Every structure is written in structure tokens, then in C-alpha cells.
Chains A and B, each alone.
Chain A
Amino acid sequence: MHLLQRLKKGLHPQKSRSKGHSNYAYTTARVRAMKSKLLPRETYPRLMNMEINQITRFIQEVEYKEDVDELAMTYSGVDLIEHALNRNLAVTFTKILSISEGELNYLISEYLKKYDIWNIKTILRGKYCGASTDEILEAVVSAGRLRYTFLSELAAKPTYEDVIEALSTSEYYSILKEYNGENLSGIENLLDKKYYDDLFQAIGDPKSKDKKLFNKFIRTDIDLKNLVTLFRLKKYGIKDPSMSDLLIEGGLKLKIKEIERMLPLSFEDFLTEIENTPYWEEISDCCSPKMDSLIYVETRLKKLRLKSAESFSHVYPLSIVPIMDYILSKENEVSNLRIIIRGKAVGLSDEEIKNQLVI
């Protein structure tokens, strides 16, 4: 097998992206075992009936024990849970990176670069609105390549220029150096586009079926992101064609030209147009021209995302897709827990919290 692979590499050295032997069997089996430890969906209604202290105790009894124990000295109440959730997310994803090898590790680390971008965005946003270091660190999730110590140093820098200077050796510098203190949203869009470009470059021209599936997975992700952006734009009546900057190219079923065509439409026309897309079936019952809030649609799209990831993961059990499925499910668990605790902290009703949950 290896000999064959080496022979193939020898023939096409420039096309080869494999960096050593990948341990798909080990990683996917371990990740599936990790997935079985995620909170079952029956837990959320129970959590809704608890007070914040009870929720802290509850998550301390499950997978978040270490995180809560470690942070209990510094934080308390909602902040403690928030930090514990972020820390757990970072630890879990770093663990997946450390147990995977070769090409698999490379692809996962490319995927997890979204956290690097998220953290850079968070820090720049924090500097933009003059948030304190602690406030910034509350939203930092060091699950990518940038370590927490480095990120906390960045967050402690006094101005955005210092932050960008500290990132001068990173791959994002070419984009970040254009930041002038005003054009934050433009820089954020460019960072997002770079992320997807890099990811597609890492996948390359997919030859094997599992790579094709991964490609499809990423492109579905882009479709759903574009759809959410479109819904938000249309809902608030923004028809400016320059908003196409917010859209990401490379979607699976919604081509960028089709989406650009929808940009100048009104909300009603947009809904009629979207009926022809394959995603309509999932969201048809919660979409109407008179809808007040987009929460239902966004929750439904997130659910669709999770459902499609799960069904993808069964197609090729020994591929990167089951790992992506786990990453999404874990992110969703953390986001659900955060919705519950933040909702309870600001005194939202159970019904409102329930509407936001993606179960």
C-alpha cells in the first residue's frame, strides 16, 4: 500500500498533499466514542428548569469537570460557565489535532483555522469598541493554531496597530495591514474569504470519494452561511448590490451568480425565488413574508447543517467527515449551553430560550 502510494507520489510530486500516514481508523473511532459522550437532547429541557448554580454543578458532573474545577478559582456564576465552555471547546479540538496524523491532521487544522480567524476578529472588535482585556478573553476560543497565551498577549495590547504588528509573521498579515481602524467589516469579510480559499486549496482537486464528500460538506456550509446572510439582508430591506462582498463563493447548490441576482429583490420576491432551491423544503413552514424574527429560520438552517453532517458521516466512516460531524455537534452543544445560561442570566422566558436552541 505504502509502496503504491510512494510510487504515485513519485509520479505526481507536485500534486501530493499527503504529509505522512493518516490514522483514520484510530481517530474516527475515538471521535465517535467522544461523540457518544455529548449531552443527549433530553438534557436541555431539564437544564431549562435549573438555576445557574445547578447548571454549573450539572456540567461539572459531565465532561466539563476539569474546566470548571480549574476556573472556579478565578470566575463565578455565568462567567465561570462561559469560560469553562470556551476552554473545553479549545481543549477538545486541540485533542483531536493531537491524536490525528498526516493528511488528516493537516485537513483538520485547516478547518480549525476558523477559530484563529474568529479570535483575531474578536480581538480587533474588542479594540474597536474599547473592551477590556478580560472582556475580550471571554470570547476567545484557542482551538486553532494560535495558542491561548499568545492570544491573551494580543488582547492585552493597547491598540489595534500593536495587535496587527504582533501578527506580522502570520499568514493573515497581508489582509490585516489594510485595516485602518474603520474598515473592520471589510477586513472580516476578506479574512473569511481567505479561510475558504485556503480550505479549498488544502482539499485540492478532490479525487477520492471521501475528499469529494468533504468538499461537498464545506460547500454546503457555504450555502447555508450565504442563505443566512441573504435572509438577514432581505429582512432589513437592504438591496445594495455592493453587499455581494458579504457572500462567500463556492456554494454547492446556490451559485454566487444566482445569489447576486437575488440581492436587489424585495423580501417577498426573495422568498418566492428561494422556493426553487433545495433548502426550501426544510424552512418552508417557518417562512412567510410577514415573519417577525429570523430566529426560526436560522435555527432550522443550523439543524439542517447538523443533520446533513450526520448523514454525510455515515457514507464514509473512515474519512474526515465523521470528525467534522463531531466538531459541529460539539460546537452546537456549547452554543446551546451558552444560550441557556445567558438567557437565564438576563431573565428571558423559557419559551424564548427554547426557540433559540438547536436540538
Chain B
Amino acid sequence: MAVESAAVMDPAGLKAIGAGLAVGLTGIASGIAEKDIGSAAVGAMAENEALFGKGLILTVIPETIVIFGLVVALLIS
């Protein structure tokens, strides 16, 4: 009996775990990707303030990864 109840899980729970993983992992991935770009952008900006706009745009480009994760999470749940 105990084995049977463990095998059958509530699909809503699995969906929630999947959605959590989708957002969480993509969040970490964007963080890693943005780390170097962000520090490079700050470095370039320290020398030339006019690079602020370009630096900001380049820094947030990996943000798309987490947005895809969020979209997937929303689709799952």
C-alpha cells in the first residue's frame, strides 16, 4: 500500500516543481551570464560615461533567458 501511494503523485505538485525549476534555473543562468557583462560594462563606463546606455542594454540581454523560463513556468502551471 505504502509503495502505491508513493508512486502516485498529485500532478499539480509536479507542475509546481517544474515551474519552480524553470524560473529558478534560468534565473541562475541569467545571473551567471550577466555577471561578466555587467562588470565589463561598469569597467568601460568608469573610463567613458557615454557608454552607459550601451552598457545597460548589453547587460540586460541575458535577461531573456529568465523571461523564457518565466513563460515556460506560466505555461506549465
* Smallest CB gap from B42: residue in A: A26
**Of the residues A24, A33, A99, A318, contact of B44 by C-beta under 8 Å:** A33
- B21 at the A interface (CB under 8 A): no
- A15 at the B interface (CB under 8 A): no
**Of the residues A25, A36, A37, contact of B43 by C-beta under 8 Å:** A25
A37 to B47 Cα, complex, angstroms: 9
> Interface with A: B4-12, B32-40, B61-69, which one?
B32-40
A32 to B36 Cα, complex, angstroms: 15
**Of the residues A25, A34, A36, contact of B39 by C-beta under 8 Å:** A25
- A345 at the B interface (CB under 8 A): no
* Chain A interfacial residues counted at CB < 8 A: 15
**Of the residues B37, B47, B48, contact of A25 by C-beta under 8 Å:** B37
A32 to B41 Cα, complex, angstroms: 11
**By the criterion CB–CB under 8 Å, are A33 and B48 in contact?**
yes
Q: Which of A27, A28, A33, A36 has the most CB of B within 10 A?
A: A33
A28 to B42 Cα, complex, angstroms: 11
Q: With A26-B42, A29-B41 in contact, do A34 and B36 touch (Cβ < 8 Å)?
A: no
Q: How many A-B residue pairs have CB under 8 A?
A: 37
* Smallest CB gap from B55: residue in A: A29
* Chain B interfacial residues counted at CB < 8 A: 13
Interfacial residues of chain B within 52-76, with CB under 8 A of chain A in the complex: none
Q: Interface on chain A toward B: helix, strand, loop, or mixed SS?
A: helix
**By the criterion CB–CB under 8 Å, are A32 and B44 in contact?**
yes
**By the criterion CB–CB under 8 Å, are A27 and B48 in contact?**
no
- A30 at the B interface (CB under 8 A): yes
- A335 at the B interface (CB under 8 A): no
A23 to B42 Cα, complex, angstroms: 12
Chain B nearest CB from A38 CB (Å) reads 12
Chain B hits for A28, CB < 8 A: 40, 43
How would residues 8 to 29 of chain A score, 1 for a CB under 8 Å from any chain B CB and 0 otherwise? 0000000000000001111111
**By the criterion CB–CB under 8 Å, are B51 and A23 in contact?**
no
* Smallest CB gap from A24: residue in B: B36
A-B contact pairs, 8 of them (CB 8 A): A25-B36, A26-B39, A26-B42, A29-B39, A29-B40, A29-B41, A30-B47, A34-B47
Other 12 A-B pairs with CB < 8 A, given A29-B41, A99-B43: A23-B39, A25-B35, A26-B40, A28-B40, A29-B43, A30-B47, A32-B44, A33-B44, A33-B47, A36-B48, A37-B47, A37-B48
B: residues with CB less than 8 A from A are 35-37, 39-44, 46-48, 51
